[in-house]
């Protein structure tokens, strides 16, 4: 059985691994300090620099789905200057809290990672466990 890693360059693998680490670090920091987080995005520029971005809520009524759609649109607008993107959301999967990370690289791979987390009891913070990786839906490089 082939892996997504067999279909892309080492650079693409490194980009997606780096984005995963950046997103999980950022999610962990927000979860530890606020107990939740609004959807956010991360990207790797053509020059290899990582960045984070957040969608500005449209009033108090913006849903997580609305914020994600704004992040997708923003990434599509920047597609020429980026080589990889990630979108993160705080979700519930089968009754458990999890971070969903949608990863995409301009080389054509799209992945969806689900990383369950639990809150530490005696001190602030979270513990991640049991990441699952599945094929994802392209959001930026769709052709």
Total tally of structural domains belonging to the chain: 1
Q: How far apart are CA 11 and CA 31, in angstroms?
A: 30
Domain that holds residue 79: 4-135
* 143, part of any domain: no
Other C-beta atoms lying within 10 Å of the C-beta of residue 17: 12
* 40, part of any domain: yes
The mean pLDDT value of the chain amounts to 91
* 140, part of any domain: no
* 82, part of any domain: yes
> What is the pLDDT at residue 60?
62
> What is the pLDDT at residue 1?
58
* 11, part of any domain: yes
> What is the pLDDT at residue 4?
81
* Res. 22 pLDDT band, cuts 50 70 90: very high
Greater pLDDT, 55 or 44? 44
Please give the model's pTM, rounded to 2 decimal places: 0.92
* 113, part of any domain: yes
* Res. 41 pLDDT band, cuts 50 70 90: very high
Q: How far apart are CA 40 and CA 60, in angstroms?
A: 17
Average pLDDT (24-35) is: 91
* 67, part of any domain: yes
* 99, part of any domain: yes
> What is the pLDDT at residue 91?
95
- Which tens digit of pLDDT belongs to each residue from 79-126? 999 999 999 999 999 889 999 999 999 999 999 999 999 987 766 778
């Amino acid at each position: 059985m082939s892996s997504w890693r067999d279909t892309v360059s080492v650079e693409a693998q490194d980009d997606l691994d780096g984005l995963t680490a950046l997103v999980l670090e950022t999610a962990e920091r927000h979860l530890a300090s606020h107990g939740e987080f609004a959807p956010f995005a991360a990207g790797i520029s053509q020059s290899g620099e990582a960045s984070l971005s957040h969608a500005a809520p449209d009033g108090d009524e913006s849903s997580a789905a609305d914020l994600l759609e704004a992040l997708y649109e923003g990434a599509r607008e920047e597609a020429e200057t980026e080589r990889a993107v990630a979108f993160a959301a705080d979700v519930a999967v089968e009754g458990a809290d999890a971070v969903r990370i949608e990863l995409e690289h301009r080389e054509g791979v799209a992945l969806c990672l689900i990383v369950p987390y639990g809150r530490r009891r005696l001190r602030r913070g979270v513990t991640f466990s049991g990441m699952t990786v599945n094929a994802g839906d392209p959001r930026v490089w769709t052709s």
